[in-house]
Amino acid sequence: MQQKEFEIWEKIIGEIKINIPETAHTWLNNLEPALPLLEMPSNGIFIMRSNQSFGIQVLTQKYLPEIEEALEKFTSLKRSVRIVLDDTKKPNSKRKQQKTAPELSLVKEKMDNLKQMHSFCGLNLKYTFNNFVCGNNSDFAYNVAKKVAAAPGQKYNPLYIYGNVGLGKTHLMQAIGHQILKDFPELKIKYAKAEEITNQLTESAIIPAERNSKMKKLRDMYRNIDVLLLDDIQFAEGKQRTEEEIFSIFDVLFHAGKQIVFASDRPPSSLACTPDRLKSRYEWGLTVEIQVPDLNTRFEIIKKHALRSNFEINDNVALLLAKTYDKNIRELEGAYNKLSAYASIQGIEATCELAKKVLNLNAGVKNVTTADIIEKTAKFFGINKDDILSNARSKDIANARRLAMYLCREITQMSLPEIGSAFNKNHTTVLYSWEKVKKEAALDGSLEETIKELNKFILG
């Protein structure tokens, strides 16, 4: 393998290791590409090979998505991965034989501890306080999270973190888990998403004869812990069984003095379909918001991300990315990943010109304002522009208002608060409208067609 290919492959393996349990890292040791990375075709299946048949089984059954994601991140090619057995290389058994019985026992103990830590807790190693870039948008949430981690169950319980998509809620929540695990290793921690509880409840009811035993196992899993980190609470909204289970879990843990941390894309007050008794539980402790990071914070985030990824970019490129991708951190880091992968594979410097080319920043997108979208949406539906900006709740006006908000977020580079200001609404209303339209359009073909026609009308 050439030096350049070797460096890219090392980055791919390193990324996979970040996203899978450490107990599975051993199966990556003999993994290698069947073809040189720089000769990869742009489509089809990417073949990897290994001399460990059991390792192939583990990686294929459990971790293919993480492998494919890492491959795409550093090659910019979205490929399906297949791992095949290579019998030409035999595992090195000499090294294993050299280990003494005490050493093997110690290794097993460490592996068991790591296995429990990752499989039960569900934590991702890259989400720590050290990796979190704190700015004016998140400093209060960050400091509160640190206090919670320092004294679990004693301060700010429950802690409810909310903010727009991709701003670091999950990162901060998992950082709490990592810090508690480090300082209080005797505590049991569980990170999960609300959607996961919904799926587990559904699965437990499939076979009637096993329903009681599976429900008991599910409840024991969430109630016999010391720290619950429950993400994406908004996905439980309107799901009665899920919300009832969360309510029960909350009461058991809270009254036992256990720490609870919730995360959502909106504050409890905006969960319109959630029962009041559960909303009140969400608000019992402290509610903190993570806002959109300012330019300086986005610049620091991308520079730190580049440092961790071992492919640094100059300040001009970092500033260009920070200015362009201002909606959420995921988009910002995703743009860097695509740029650095392209530059690495081609063996060239990541310049501003290259960034504009690779990220299609010179696409000549028409500069459309929120005022343009509001005015043209009103014309499209044959209503008055002032009606969209009013508090009128008639079906036609409310529908036009939601679609205008949706397209403002889709077309412009405006932040949620800026869009909300244009409509005389708060940013949570904009986010709710955007999510509602997005979900309904996925199920309703006629609405999806209306959005396309309105989009053409605005940009035309």
Over the chain (460 residues), the average pLDDT of each successive run of 10 is 76 86 78 73 73 80 85 81 72 44 50 49 84 87 94 92 89 93 88 89 78 83 90 91 92 93 92 90 93 86 86 88 85 90 86 89 66 93 91 90 91 80 88 88 86 86
> In this structure, which amino acid lies at residue 327?
K
Average pLDDT score, the chain: 83
Give the pLDDT confidence of 377-391 residue by residue, as tens digits: 999 999 999 999 998
Together in a domain, 183 and 270: yes
Three-state secondary structure call for residue 263: strand
Together in a domain, 335 and 383: no
Q: What is the CATH number of the domain that holds 350?
A: 1.10.8.60
- For 7-38, give the secondary structure using H, E and C: HHHHHHHHHHHHHCCHHHHHHHCCCEECCCHH
pLDDT at 459: 80
Distance CA 133, CA 337 (A): 18
Q: Domain total for the chain?
A: 4
Give the pLDDT confidence of 233-265 residue by residue, as tens digits: 998 988 999 999 999 999 999 999 999 999 999
Boundary of a domain, candidates 235, 255, 290: 290
pLDDT at 361: 80
The burial of 119, by beta-carbon neighbours within 10 Å (0-12 exposed, 13-18 middle, 19 or more buried), is given as exposed
87 located within any domain: yes
31 located within any domain: yes
Together in a domain, 84 and 206: no
Together in a domain, 169 and 153: yes
The burial of 362, by beta-carbon neighbours within 10 Å (0-12 exposed, 13-18 middle, 19 or more buried), is given as exposed
Boundary of a domain, candidates 290, 322, 339: 290
Boundary of a domain, candidates 336, 358, 380: 358
Residue 344 burial (CB count, 10 A)? 22
Together in a domain, 238 and 166: yes
Distance CA 315, CA 295 (A): 13
124 located within any domain: no
Together in a domain, 406 and 354: no
Q: What is the CATH number of the domain that holds 32?
A: 3.30.300.180
Together in a domain, 65 and 158: no
Are the beta carbons of 203 and 238 closer than 8 angstroms? no
* Residue span of the structural domain in which 244 resides: 139-290
Together in a domain, 283 and 300: no
Distance CA 234, CA 344 (A): 39
Q: Is the peptide bond before 158 cis (omega within 30 degrees of 0)?
A: yes
Instruction: Return the biggest CA–CA distance within the chain.
Output: 82
pTM of the model: 0.56
Together in a domain, 145 and 256: yes
Together in a domain, 151 and 179: yes
Give the pLDDT confidence of 190-248 residue by residue, as tens digits: 999 998 888 888 887 777 777 788 888 888 888 888 999 999 999 898 899 999 999 99
Are the beta carbons of 241 and 203 closer than 8 angstroms? no
Together in a domain, 249 and 161: yes
What's phi and psi for 227, nearest 5 deg?
-140, 120
